Amino acid sequence: MVTDILAADLAELAVLGAVFCGILGLLIGSFLNVVAWRVPRGESIVHPPSACPHCGHRLSWWENIPLLSFALLRGRCRGCRERIAWRYPIVEAVTGIAFVLVFLKFGLVPELPAYLYFAAIAVVLSVIDIDLRRLPDSIVLPSYVVLGVLFTVAAIVEGDPAQLARALLAGVALFGCYFAVAFAYPAGMGFGDVKLAGVIGIVLGWMGWGSLLIGAFAGFLTGAIGGLLMMAITRGGRKTMIPFGPFMLLGGAIGIGWGEQLAEAYLGLFSL
């Protein structure tokens, strides 16, 4: 009886946690739209208030509700009736879904804030890189500090400094790997990718070496496949500029979600 009650309470807590993370993700996603637009242009992300890029109409509070405002406005600016880009609700929805998936993966653990933060920057960096072929230092470099602090707190709470040391070492290792590739073939990889690799390495290294190896491999694999598809669709050549950051981040997501399991399954093939 007691066990059933505890199980029901835990299930209810999990549902509430997922709902909370989903709503938080939607709100963060709305903010990420501002970041993706203003940061590459060197503008403040807090001032002035959000406005229509076409007519300058200042958005009221009800025009800033994630997803709902887009539906109420029927995808058009209230001031000039210009269409609102579908990217805005998509970014909000993707961020909300990503936050829910992160919560379902980790639950209420000390490292949850670090992975929610990583999910947020993964979305905004992907949008910016797709738009402008850039990974802004103003987002990537502070992420080293933010993740370092969040994982340090998690290591203290869990009493496992070795896990923090592995995360930092993994960050250095993946940074060095990408730096070597960029040095050997500078035309094929920008230094923004190198700096992002260190961030991804820290996030994957916290989980384990298997996650790091699978995540890094998945990044290169999805990048190669995606690059070939994009060149085929756009009829571009080998010199076509293809944003690699989103594929790196996708590989990181794969490493977080299934890295350790895939690594164990692969190693298990050699023990048969």
Give domain limits for the chain: 1-108, 129-272
Q: What is the pLDDT of residue 125?
A: 98
* Mean pLDDT value across residues 126-143: 96
Q: What is the largest CA-CA distance in the chain?
A: 67
In 3D space, the residue among 207, 125, 134, 137 whose CA is nearest the CA of residue 171 turns out to be 207
Q: Give Cβ neighbours of residue 26 (< 8 Å, ≥ 6 apart).
A: 66, 67, 92, 93, 95, 96
Phi (first) and psi of residue 219, to 5 degrees: -65, -45
pLDDT at 1 over 60: no
Q: What is the pLDDT of residue 79?
A: 85
Distance from C-alpha of 118 to C-alpha of 130, rounded to nearest angstrom: 18
pLDDT at 62 over 90: no
Q: What is the pLDDT of residue 111?
A: 97
DSSP-derived 3-state class of residue 133 = coil
Q: What is the pTM of this model?
A: 0.92
Percent of the chain at pLDDT above 70?
Answer: 93
- Alpha helices of the chain — where are they, by DSSP H? 2-38, 68-72, 87-106, 112-132, 137-158, 161-184, 191-207, 209-234, 245-268
Contact 45, 38 (CB under 8 A): yes
pLDDT at 2 over 60: no
Residues 257, 260, 261, 266: is their CA dihedral positive or negative?
positive
* pLDDT classification of 10: cutoffs 50, 70, 90: low
DSSP-derived 3-state class of residue 137 = helix
Q: Which residue has the higher pLDDT, 124 or 226?
A: 124
Q: Which amino acid is at 227?
A: G
In this predicted model, what pLDDT tens digit does every residue of 73-131 receive, in sequence order? 989 998 898 999 999 999 999 999 999 999 999 999 999 999 999 999 999 999 999 99
* pLDDT classification of 52: cutoffs 50, 70, 90: confident
Q: What is the pLDDT of residue 242?
A: 82
